[in-house]
């Protein structure tokens, strides 16, 4: 038995970035049609993708903070942030110990007062010596890191009065 010949397999084609005599610009790769957005790439939620609008900075995370969000944020923070900021957020990471400029501590008064949208934008766009992580880290993970940083700030500056009364005994070791 012989198979029928498939003419589609033998059609002329271009390799990626191959020159073309057919198109006036000499390129075989065609530019995207203006105004088109790839499926799944429409970023119409300014709060989620930009940390606020052009005139305001987001004061709240786009979703409730759960233990899963904080665990994901901690995981991503440990991967991307600890080399400079260290695990406690004091700004004394391994790279800093080797001569790189020190980032500000997350525990100073200015950092503690920053809204979550500001932290998200710094992670996304970078600032000073900090590079942009907008391409490497998804928006969802950037928000998780932001939530973790806020939790880290609370944990490093907590007072016993901040803990609910029914849980203080577990911290102090005394029994009711």
Q: Is 10 inside any structural domain?
A: no
The answer to whether residue 6 is domain-embedded is no
Residues present in the chain in total: 176
**Which CATH number covers residue 114?**
1.10.760.10
Q: Measured between alpha carbons, how far is residue 68 from residues 62, 122, 141, 145, 174 in Å?
A: 15, 23, 12, 12, 30
Residue 52 domain boundaries? 46-158
Nearest alpha-carbon partner for 114 in 149, 67, 139:
149
Predicted confidence pLDDT, tens digits, the chain (176 residues): 555 666 666 777 888 889 998 889 999 988 888 988 888 888 889 999 999 998 999 999 999 999 999 999 999 999 999 999 999 999 999 999 999 999 999 999 999 999 999 999 999 999 999 999 999 999 999 999 999 999 999 988 788 888 888 888 887 766 65
CA dist., res. 32 & res. 8, Å (int):
25
Read off the pTM: 0.75
Domains of the chain: total: 1
111 occurs within a structural domain: yes
* Residue 51 placed within a domain: yes
Place of tokens 């991967």: 79
- CA–CA separation, 147 vs 72, rounded Å? 10
Residue 64 located in a structural domain: yes
**b/e sequence 38-71, b meaning 16+ C-beta within 10 Å:** eeeeeeeeebbebbbeeeebbeebbeebeeebbe
Give the torsion sign (CA, 129, 56, 134, 80). Answer: positive
Spell out where the chain has E strands: none
Is residue 147 situated within a structural domain? yes
């Amino acid at each position: 038995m012989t198979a029928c010949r498939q003419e589609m397999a033998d059609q002329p084609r271009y390799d990626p970035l191959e020159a073309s005599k057919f198109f006036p610009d000499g390129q075989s790769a065609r530019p995207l049609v203006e105004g088109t957005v790839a499926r799944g790439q429409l970023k119409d939620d300014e709060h989620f993708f930009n940390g606020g609008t052009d005139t305001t900075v987001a004061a709240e995370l786009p979703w409730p903070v759960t233990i899963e969000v904080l665990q994901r944020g901690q995981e991503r923070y440990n991967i991307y942030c600890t080399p400079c900021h260290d695990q406690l957020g004091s700004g004394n990471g391994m790279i800093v110990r080797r001569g790189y400029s020190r980032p500000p501590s997350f525990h100073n008064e200015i950092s503690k007062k920053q809204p979550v949208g500001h932290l998200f934008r710094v992670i996304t766009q970078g600032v000073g010596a900090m590079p942009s992580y907008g391409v490497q880290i998804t928006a969802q993970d950037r928000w998780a890191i932001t939530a973790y940083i806020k939790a880290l700030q609370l944990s490093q500056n907590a007072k016993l009065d901040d803990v609910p009364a029914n849980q203080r005994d577990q911290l102090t070791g005394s029994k009711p």
